[in-house]
Chain A
Amino acid sequence: MITYDASEGSPADEGVDRTSKIESVAIQRMIEEVRSGDSIATAANYNRTHNKHNR
């Protein structure tokens, strides 16, 4: 499960399983998210406000 905190620097790849054969961090973390049922503890400030508006 991805549990990084953006306040500790780049949220890029903390928590991502680096033993995976998938080389793309962006793909790997999305797989981890969907595996965990979309209920991940993601970066503190990513989608933190549930804003659904596209502007």
Chain B
Amino acid sequence: MTRLQLRRTTTGLTTSTTARTGTPPQTIDTVLVKTASRCNLNCTYCYVYNLGDDGWKSQPRRMSSEVLEAIIEQVGELSHRQNQAISVVLHGGEPLLLGFEGIQRLVEGLKDSLRQDAGLHIQTNAVLLSDPFIDLFASNDVGISISLDGTAEVHDLNRVDRHGRGSYERVVAAIARLLAHPSGSSLLTGLLAVVDPRSNPVDVYESLKATGAPSFDFLYRDGNYANLPFGKTRPESIEFGNWMIGLLEHYLADPTPPRIRVIDDIIRLILGGSGQKEGIGLNEYGIIVIDTDGKITRNDTLKGAYSGGDRFVSEPSIVGGRLQEYLSSTEFVEYFDLQIPTSPICQSCPELGVCGGGMPAHRWSDEHGYANPTVFCADQKLLISAVRSRLSAAINISSPHEVLDRAVLA
């Protein structure tokens, strides 16, 4: 492959004619391990179950010992072979549905096999987060991120169990139980909330803050040009942008603010620093998924583009295959290149270095594939503009595009 390519840097796009196929293996920074393919909740907006992809139906309910052992061996080996520190995230479905014994084997095995600077992490709805699990995670330094959408009213609108009952009380009780553990406050990495643009962002912020969690992150409702996200009336509308500005104002005025990762990333990028997660900025991230049956797949959020959008054609598996070898394959290279925004609108946008074109799954249209701006383009422009404006006012400079050098270099 020798096509002219846009390459990501922390400051913007550059062009390169370097052939990538045959180059050294892609660097991986995050490995998602789908320990269980089912969930004990049935959240209305879930991209795994309720956005059209039905790949979960053909998956085993839980990871087998064979798959667990292959992950421990091969992901551990990968962490020693590359310079980049690696993060392993237990994910689902609901990862705790694997059961205590399986989670214990995986966590303790990875603790032994991974390089010392690797991170172990779990993303859970917390309903099954019992004291034995908390003890296990404390013993193995497993960071815990919990899904909580804000107030009881907002959370229980969507995060319901199979009987339609809200999960808020159970989740908040689990957070309190975790924070009561001697290691709890250092284990809780933060809360992950999905934005409901009909809600009050100040109420959501204060409700999340009241849990005692040190940081929050916010996700937009999944969707694209073929299927607009819930709450967005048309691609040009700004429901999510307006909601985020309400959140921004309250956050910036709070004398004791927790962290909000998505807003911190935008501020950091405007100030000339680097973003820290996918979907913002132009850093290139290496994210792979090990599905419950051991298949290696693309980023699972791509399920939200079209059914099967997260699968590789060759269906590589961590059982009987070599993870390291797949990372040099053409389809892996093409998958990683998917992060690069290819829409002419993005390529000429002055905010591309901060926005990054958004999540690839949110760029999808039936007509142009991923070659679109994010469906949240108008929202992001509004939010980024608001952050620039607030930064300019705070630092007392005349132009928001002075990039705040004065503040950073002072």
**Chain A interface residues (CB < 8 Å from chain B):** 6-7, 10-13, 21-27, 30-31, 33-35, 38, 43-55
A1 to B187, CA, bound (A): 23
Residues of A within 8 A of B35 (CB): none
Beyond A26-B251, A30-B271, A53-B277, is A46–B190 a contact (Cβ under 8 Å)?
A: yes
Closest A-B pairs by Cβ, 10 of them: A49-B119, A12-B256, A49-B121, A34-B273, A50-B87, A6-B214, A34-B271, A52-B285, A24-B252, A30-B267
New A-B pairs, 13, CB < 8 Å, besides A49-B189, A51-B143, A53-B89: A13-B255, A24-B252, A25-B254, A25-B257, A27-B390, A30-B268, A31-B395, A45-B186, A51-B87, A51-B119, A54-B278, A54-B359, A55-B91
A25 to B255, CA, bound (A): 6
Residues of A within 8 A of B299 (CB): 53
Is B189's CB under 8 angstroms from A45's CB? yes
From residue 78 to 102 of chain B, which have CB atoms closer than 8 A to chain A? 85-87, 89, 91
Is A55's CB under 8 angstroms from B119's CB? no
CB distance from B115 to the nearest CB of A (A): 12
Partner of A45, one of B85, B185, B253: B185
**Chain B interface residues (CB < 8 Å from chain A):** 29-30, 32, 47, 85-87, 89, 91, 119-121, 123, 143, 145, 185-190, 192, 214-215, 219, 251-261, 263-264, 267-268, 271-274, 276-279, 285-287, 299-301, 359, 390-391, 394-396, 404, 407-409
Is B279's CB under 8 angstroms from A35's CB? no
Is A31's CB under 8 angstroms from B271's CB? yes
CB distance from A20 to the nearest CB of B (A): 10
A-B contact pairs, 9 of them (CB 8 A): A30-B268, A33-B268, A34-B268, A38-B274, A43-B259, A45-B189, A50-B87, A51-B189, A53-B91
Residues of A within 8 A of B259 (CB): 11, 43, 46
Is A24's CB under 8 angstroms from B394's CB? yes
Is A46's CB under 8 angstroms from B215's CB? yes
A25 to B257, CA, bound (A): 7
Is A12's CB under 8 angstroms from B255's CB? yes
Residues of B within 8 A of A48 (CB): 119, 143, 189
CB < 8 Å A-B pair total: 144
Is B186's CB under 8 angstroms from A50's CB? no
Is A55's CB under 8 angstroms from B300's CB? yes
A43 to B145, CA, bound (A): 15
A48 to B214, CA, bound (A): 12
Residues of B within 8 A of A55 (CB): 47, 91, 123, 192, 219, 300-301
Is A12's CB under 8 angstroms from B29's CB? no
Partner of A6, one of B89, B185, B253: B185
A46 to B121, CA, bound (A): 12
A54 to B287, CA, bound (A): 10
Chain A, Cβ-Cβ closest to B141: A48
Partner of A50, one of B86, B123, B192: B86
Is A27's CB under 8 angstroms from B214's CB? no
Is B251's CB under 8 angstroms from A47's CB? no
Is A13's CB under 8 angstroms from B256's CB? yes
Beyond A6-B214, A47-B276, is A53–B30 a contact (Cβ under 8 Å)?
A: yes
Residues of B within 8 A of A50 (CB): 29-30, 85-87, 119
Partner of B258, one of A12, A21, A47: A12
Residues of B within 8 A of A23 (CB): 394
A52 to B108, CA, bound (A): 22
Is A51's CB under 8 angstroms from B186's CB? no
Is B276's CB under 8 angstroms from A53's CB? no
Residues of B within 8 A of A24 (CB): 252-253, 390, 394
Partner of A26, one of B187, B254, B274, B409: B254
CB distance from A22 to the nearest CB of B (A): 5
